[in-house]
Amino acid sequence: MTALQNWQPAIGSFLALIAIFIAASVGFWFNRKRDADLRKDEAKSIAAALYAEAVTLQRVTARMANLVARRHQGKGLGRRRDGFDAHFFELVPMPPASIFAGLSAQIGKLPASILLGMAEFHSTYEEARYWLPRLEDKEERGFSYSVLAVLRPALTAVEGVQSTLAEIEAFAGISPASKLPDLREAKDVFQWEEEWWTEARQQDGEGS
């Protein structure tokens, strides 16, 4: 009995250490889970903000592409005398992607597939935005840029981002609201222009 009494303090200390270890482990687990939930909620908020901007820019880009195609087709068929001028560009404003730029330091918190999809969308959007004003007819330049310079990245941006938008809807719990805009006019003119340039290159090759 005396031996057991001698061990009681050591046993009590050992049990106390186990209790402290268990409490610390449980607290650590809860803290990690809380931090993970906070990070996920933050990523969802970032994704939702990018989603709202991307849906808007997708529609803006589709409208621009169809109007570029319509103006190009109308001029080529002789229905219009005016081409791509300052008045036309006023009809197709392409705003900067301010939300994407503002969140550039935080987009690394997004899932890799969403991050990649957003980066590809904004890259092609900016490419179309860059080339749009360069369609303007300038006599002093001596040549004109093909509408393909605008339509190719515009179509890629509009169609390519659709799967990423659907992924963000699932990730952030957004009710599906994105719908692929109508691109028939832009795609028709893009195909005609591509065929024309292919034939022109072939003829140049045969002539040389």
pLDDT tens digits, one per residue of 53-62:
999 999 999 9
14 within a domain of the structure (yes/no): no
Domain span including residue 173: 38-200
Amino acid identity of residue 198, one-letter, is T
77 pLDDT higher than 80: no
Task: Find the radius of gyration of the CA atoms of the chain.
Answer: 29
65 within a domain of the structure (yes/no): yes
Higher-pLDDT residue of 101, 23: 101
87 within a domain of the structure (yes/no): yes
22 within a domain of the structure (yes/no): no
Instruction: Give the count of domains, the chain.
Output: 1
Report residue 112 as tokens.
């890799």
Model pLDDT for residues 162-204, shown as the tens digit of each residue: 999 999 999 999 988 778 999 999 999 999 999 988 887 777 6
Give the model's pLDDT for residue 161: 97
- CA dist 54 and 166 (Å) reads 12
18 within a domain of the structure (yes/no): no
113 within a domain of the structure (yes/no): yes
**DSSP state string for the chain:** -HHHHHHHHHHHHHHHHHHHHHHHHHHHHHHHHHHHHHHHHHHHHHHHHHHHHHHHHHHHHHHHHHHHHHHHHHHHTTS-S--S-HHHHHHS-----HHHHHTTTTGGGS-HHHHHHHHHHHHHHHHHHHHGGGGS--GGG-S---THHHHHHHHHHHHHTHHHHHHHHHHHTPPP---PPP-HHHHHHHHHHHHHHHHHHHHHHHH-
Is 54:121 a contact under the CB 8 Å cutoff?
yes
75 within a domain of the structure (yes/no): yes
1 pLDDT higher than 60: no
31 within a domain of the structure (yes/no): no
Measured N-to-C along each axis, helices 184-207 and 2-76 cross at an angle, to the nearest 10 degrees, of 70
Please give the C-alpha separations between residue 188 and each of 127, 132, 185, 191, in angstroms, as whole numbers.
Answer: 20, 18, 5, 5
Model pLDDT for residues 21-38, shown as the tens digit of each residue: 666 665 655 555 554 555
CA max distance for the chain:
113
Question: Half-sphere exposure of residue 32, counting CA atoms within 13 Å on the CB side?
Answer: 6
160 pLDDT higher than 90: yes
- CA dist 188 and 206 (Å) reads 27
Q: Which residues contact 47 (CB under 8 A, 6 or more apart)?
A: 110, 114, 168, 171, 172
